[in-house]
Amino acid sequence: MNIFPTNPVQIRRRRGKVQDTHITLAHGSGGKAMRDLIDDIFVNTFNNPILSQLEDQASFNLATLMQQGDRLAFTTDSYVVDPLFFPGGDIGELAINGTVNDLAVSGAKPLYLTCSVILEEGLAVETLRRVAQNMQAAAKKAGVQIVTGDTKVVHRGAVDKLFINTSGIGVIPPGVNISAHNLQPGDAVIINGELGNHGTAILIARGELALETNLESDCQPLNSLVESILKVCPQIHAMRDATRGGLATVVNEFALSSNMGIRLDDQSIPIREEVKGVCEILGLDPLYLANEGKLVVVVGRENTETVLSAMKSHPAGKDACVIGEVLPSPPGVVLLKTAFGAERILDMLVGEQLPRIC
């Protein structure tokens, strides 16, 4: 009698389980310890049919993808935030939401993500498990799947606890052409809420300052908000999430790419008093602080109210407001109108205000 299934699909491999409490170099050796780590922490947590195949790559049906759009969007990013856990999120949520948002601002529907981790020898296994569980929760919320990845372990001190790289693919529907080159004079510049919360929350979480606040990171997926915007106005001119370098960097990139001028109204930009207070103490500018859930949208004047209304009806855009406009000149320059009615040039960030904020 043949006791083995004749159909390979029927074979269900028994998954391993991590026996150690901390990461060792053996967990990156390619042997049983590594396989048990991948099974226990990642395969069980991210469980989906594509990942469970455990091939060296994930494969997709092109016909199915083409039913959702006519172009593929692809992005990658690495996350080295310190500390790993902070008010409002952690490195795992950050990795998922950051990559989802980079796809979403192109107008794409995010679908599949990768997860590659670099682990420091001595990292607590339960810390890694908690990060993976939060990644899966964030992926489920964003409606994406983590389908392949990689694990490396380095000697103690060669990396700070845990670094994550995520790549993602999504599909852009027909008729959507979002690019900074599309800016036109009279376009409105819109933001979906308060600026600087993430950068400030990270700074305080490091415990280097004797400050207490209930401020949390704005870490969140923006793809659902983008879908709501494109549903009422597919003709969005430009869109970008204001992460490192903050709002000031994004609008400068828009101005340089389009060779247009942009004027922002300082009084219209929403910033919490706690953020302003921390910035005043440390000599920082909140317009350069990192965000992880803020979207800068540039839209034609005729569609401004329609887009603004759609954003306000979504939880991630309830505080959306117009903060500026596109000008024909000075080309490539961003101006900031101050509370006193004067204007000053708002340059791109030089240097780094806060390192390792994402």
The burial of 85, by beta-carbon neighbours within 10 Å (0-12 exposed, 13-18 middle, 19 or more buried), is given as middle
9 pLDDT above the threshold of 60? no
Confidence of residue 10 (pLDDT cuts 50, 70, 90): very low
Contact yes or no for 337/257 (Cβ under 8 A): no
The CA distance from 169 to 171, in Å, is 7
Minimal CA–CA distance to 226: which of 87, 78, 116, 73?
73
Contact yes or no for 166/115 (Cβ under 8 A): yes
Q: What is the pLDDT of residues 55-93, one digit of tens each?
A: 999 998 999 998 999 999 999 999 999 999 999 999 999
The CA distance from 164 to 290, in Å, is 18
Q: What is the pLDDT of residues 145-185, one digit of tens each?
A: 999 999 999 999 999 999 999 999 999 999 999 999 999 99
Task: Give the 3-state secondary structure of 95-157.
Answer: HHHHHHHHHHCCCCEEEEEEEEEEEECCCEHHHHHHHHHHHHHHHHHHCCEEEEEEEEEECCC
Q: What is Dmax (Cα atoms) for the chain?
A: 90
Q: Which two tokens stand for residue 187?
A: 């376009």
7 pLDDT above the threshold of 50? no
Task: Give the range among 111-115, 207-211, 267-271 with minimum mean pLDDT.
Answer: 207-211
Contact yes or no for 47/145 (Cβ under 8 A): no
The CA distance from 139 to 96, in Å, is 6
313 DSSP assignment: T
Q: Which domains does the chain have, with CATH numbers?
A: 8-172 (3.30.1330.10), 180-345 (3.90.650.10)
Contacts of 240 (CB under 8 A, 6+ apart): 105, 180, 250, 253, 254, 295, 296
pLDDT at 12: 62
The CA distance from 135 to 133, in Å, is 5
Specify the pairing of strand 334-337 against strand 261-265.
parallel
**β-bridge partners, 326:** 262
Provide the phi-psi class of 153: left if phi over 0, else alpha when psi is between -120 and 50, else beta. beta
